[in-house]
Structure 1
Amino acid sequence: MRFVVTGHNGQVVQSLIERGGAAGHVVVPAGRPELDLASGNAAAILSALERTTPDVIVSAAAYTGVDKAESERELAFAVNAAGAGHVAAAATALGVPLLHLSTDYVFSGEGTRAWNEDDPPGPMGVYGASKLAGERKVLAASPNSAVLRTAWVYSPFGANFVKTMLRLAESREEVGVVADQFGNPTSALAIADAVIRVAGNLATSDDPAMRGVFHMAGSGETSWAGLAEEIFALSAARGGPTARVRPISTADYPTAAARPANSRLDCSRLAAVHGLRLPDWRYSLTEVIDRLVAQRT
């Protein structure tokens, strides 16, 4: 299949290029200046995507500055809501399936059980609100689409929590990490593998159950502090940088945007409908740490 994925340098884009190529697919990134989601120009977005001749479109580009979005609401909504909707409309016009990446931040973070797709959303900040608005525009514009909510994404590419922890460990013996927020760490490499599988299902089946909203995150859960401890343990075992983790509370690390205390996602619908469950987060983390430590030596 010929995958066209919005964006150039994002973690999912780079992971799709790697994994898709290895699986024999063609993966074409489409981003600025040719494809500018913030432009509000639906015709230009359609034209840019039409030139790429996709078999499937993966809507991965997004405004991801969670804190910055609090002061750049208009831009966040332009990209994450209106822009996503224009991509979905283009997919419909081109007659191809669409897979749209979304986030755990559409939920309020209350409670202790994992969120399922039928739970009412309640975003805590502008970023989550803009992504929720994008989901709704995507589903309205493209009946042949799947919205895939994921969480706590990391990979060998770009900027992410795992790479930040390894960098901090190079100069610190101890790192303070939030211990009262819980979720499912998810490798972008695993996301790419799953996207390829779901795209294949949409391409070969017209079953309406395969469309709609799905949660797609790594199996198992932990806190940010728990994730950091595992990062340092795996890195130390490979001769990489390591540090002690000092658990702190959310109140000890104030940010412009509130973070959900409970980001756990129930991914059982994805397993039941698409026959797909992402690997345990520790397994996926090991693969990424292997690569990141090897790059440092």
Structure 2
Amino acid sequence: MSRIVITGSTGQVGWELRRALSTFGEVLAPGRNECNLADPAAAAAYLRRVKPDLVVNPAAYTAVDKAESEPELAHTVNALAPQALAETCADLDALLVHYSTDYVFDGSRDGVYREDDAPSPVSVYGSSKLAGEEAIRAVGGRHVILRTSWVYGLRGKNFLATMLKLAAERDRLRVVADQFGAPTWSRAIADATAQLLRSFPLTATPPAALLNLTASGSTSWHGFASAIVEEGAKRGLTRLVPVDGITTADYPTPASRPANSRLDNTRLAEAAGFVLADWRQSLNLCLDDIEAQKRA
């Protein structure tokens, strides 16, 4: 039986991974007291102790704006810790699956970003995540890096939860309309990861891989918010209120964000034979789950 370690197992993606990977073997979901990425040496020591066949790392420092004032912590969690995990996995001949972000790009180009486009992050968060990618590749062990975007889900703080809450409290919302990307459900990410791993058996030696992994289609934050409010109101999860589009300049933040976060999923389709569903379809499924939980 394979032994699988999932970091950040109480987070949006980590929680879904515990279910999605449960049939692959023994799943270990250490808490921060056992595997805290803010202490890379301790995290590596945990891996050496449990000797996994597979390490899946959705844990990250994701507070984009706060990272501007905590660059050292962001770099430790997002760059130094993945390096330590990669080095330990290489020593153990374990496969490392690591999640990265659309924020490695500056968003200045038209169209979609492919995996081999030159990254150019515009925030501390994006820079720290890019450094994590580079560190993993430099180690040279077996790894798959998955770049995703605009992650939301049933747990924790995320854009979906925020919009449902604000629409229930306010008579009108104002949301940025000039940043574009693909809202991606955490459950879809977890299920896609499981599907990928069926293509890369744990006992095999897949090539090092960098793949974009986002929902199909794209929208703006305003478009995403409008869909959340409209579909959420239909299910009685919030109120139907107007959502006004504003510019990035109208909503200044400590960290810069890419105006274009759209990622090309062609390589995923060619390598694994599938792509994720359209973002609207996944949003509706997620809202159905929230509605079902409230009725239970």
TM-score norm. by structure 2 comes to: 0.93
Residue 185 of structure 2: aligned partner: 187
Aligned 8 A contact 1:56 1:199 in 2? no
Paired-residue identity, %: 46
Residue 206 of structure 1: aligned partner: 205
Show structure 2 runs of 5+ residues with no match: none
* Structure 1 moving runs of 4+ over 6 Å: none
Residue 227 of structure 1: aligned partner: 224
Q: Structure 2: which amino acid aligns with 1:219?
A: S
How large is the Cα RMSD of the aligned pairs? 1.6
SS at match of 1:173: coil
Q: By how many angstroms is 1:205 displaced?
A: 4.5
Q: Structure 2: which amino acid aligns with 1:217?
A: T
Residue 107 of structure 1: aligned partner: 105
CA distance in 2, matches of 1:25, 1:56: 10
Return the match for 1:262 from 260, 263, 268: 260
Q: Structure 1: which amino acid aligns with 2:70?
A: E
Show structure 1 runs of 5+ residues with no match: none
CA distance in 1, matches of 2:206, 2:292: 44
SS at match of 1:255: coil
Residue 144 of structure 1: aligned partner: 142
Check if 1:88 corresponds to 2:83: no
CA distance in 2, matches of 1:71, 1:207: 38
Q: Structure 1: which amino acid aligns with 2:253?
A: T
CA distance in 2, matches of 1:106, 1:46: 25
Q: Structure 1: which amino acid aligns with 2:85?
A: V
Q: Structure 1: which amino acid aligns with 2:169?
A: S
Q: By how many angstroms is 1:158 displaced?
A: 1.2
Return the match for 1:55 from 53, 56, 60: 53
CA distance in 1, matches of 2:206, 2:293: 44
CA distance in 2, matches of 1:56, 1:255: 37
Q: Structure 2: which amino acid aligns with 1:192?
A: A
Q: Structure 2: which amino acid aligns with 1:206?
A: T
Cα distance per residue 1:89-137 (max 9 Å; x no partner): 1111111111110000000111221100111000001000000000011
Aligned 8 A contact 2:86 2:141 in 1? no
SS at match of 1:170: helix
Q: Structure 1: which amino acid aligns with 2:38?
A: A
Check if 1:29 corresponds to 2:26: no
Aligned 8 A contact 2:144 2:210 in 1? yes
Residue 292 of structure 1: aligned partner: 290
CA distance in 2, matches of 1:53, 1:206: 17
TM-score norm. by structure 1 comes to: 0.93
CA distance in 2, matches of 1:54, 1:275: 27
Q: By how many angstroms is 1:200 displaced?
A: 2.6
CA distance in 2, matches of 1:39, 1:24: 28
Return the match for 1:119 from 117, 120, 124: 117
Q: By how many angstroms is 1:142 displaced?
A: 3.9
